[in-house]
Amino acid sequence: MTQLTFPKLHCPLPSQINKYVDAMGDYSLEWVSRFNLLAKESTYRRFSKSKFFLLAARAYPNCPLEELKIGNDWLSWVFIWDDLCDLSELKTQPEALKVYHKRFLKILNGAELTSNDVPLTHALYDLRQRTVQRASKEWFRHFLLCFEEYFQGCVEEAAVRAQNIVPDVDTYMMIRRASVGGNLFLTVSEFCNNFMLSDFLRNHDFVDKLKLMTINVLAWCNDVFSASREMASGDVHNIVLVLHYQQQLSLETALERAVIMHDEEMESLISLEASIPVFGNKLDTELAQYISIMHTWIRGNLDWYSYTDRYQSVEMLEPVKY
């Protein structure tokens, strides 16, 4: 697999890590083992080297242990499903993905397990039960909408692959903002911090802009670090590869352009935050907390790439059966 040289990404935000991080390494592996999620010993070793628990500990640095465990397990579940969507034969089968997504959403909406359900569905049921015990119904309804958005992004990526085309930048970003799971995991951050953004702020144009920029930064950061892996697997859902093919740039130049896009969006986000409207004491405090949630995800995501081996090969986190 060709490895690109990664330049430093601009991020003027402080690094943080949860005080329970030392408890998370063994726990993270124990949870996927309990549900027999991975196919073989080598896949469990790959899971361990991916160090998703470090991403959770850095993205959710201030939350209690039980919320951190749940946040970590949502990450593990999504990363395993992501690999199936990106690296298995399902990657070009949007209709097959819809069948799985329909069942997953039924489970998330409270359906009971059956003898036909695969291990990933059993793990999802466990996560749903543990989450609803600690979350409000209002928050969980919003969380379900975010999951639907993420699943739709996975389907749209598969549809593009099935057509064997390279999307233009605008089409790519529209799909990528969904498939990267940014909305999903910012919402998990609310849960982990025992916080919920009010409808007023969630639907406000200013917050929409902040969230859009945050998701762009998260997506382009991931794309810079995952470009080699996705190129080796024949995928094109990466801003580096879209620029490479659509604008006929060398890979090195496309990577440089992606880094510039990331760094400029990071600066635009910071600049926008300097012009926060005044809503009143309660809403101002609430918005400050939400901005802190976005910041910890941006910084935690970037820091994680220094520790994970996830993007060093095209081997997927293969489940036992799907």
Is the alpha carbon torsion for 311, 181, 103, 196 positive or negative? positive
pLDDT value of residue 279: 94
Q: Where does residue 199 rank: exposed (0-12), middle (13-18), buried (19+ CB within 10 A)?
A: exposed
pLDDT value of residue 281: 92
pLDDT value of residue 41: 82
- Taking a C-beta distance cutoff of 8 angstroms, is the pair 4, 230 a contact? no
Residue 38 DSSP class: B
Q: Which residues of the chain have pLDDT under 50?
A: none
Quote the mean pLDDT of the chain. 93
* Per-residue CA distances from 17 to 30, 53, 181 (Å): 21, 11, 21
> pTM score, two decimals?
0.94
- Taking a C-beta distance cutoff of 8 angstroms, is the pair 21, 270 a contact? no
Query: Which residues have CB under 8 Å from 258's CB, separation 6+?
Result: 220, 223, 224, 227, 239, 240, 243
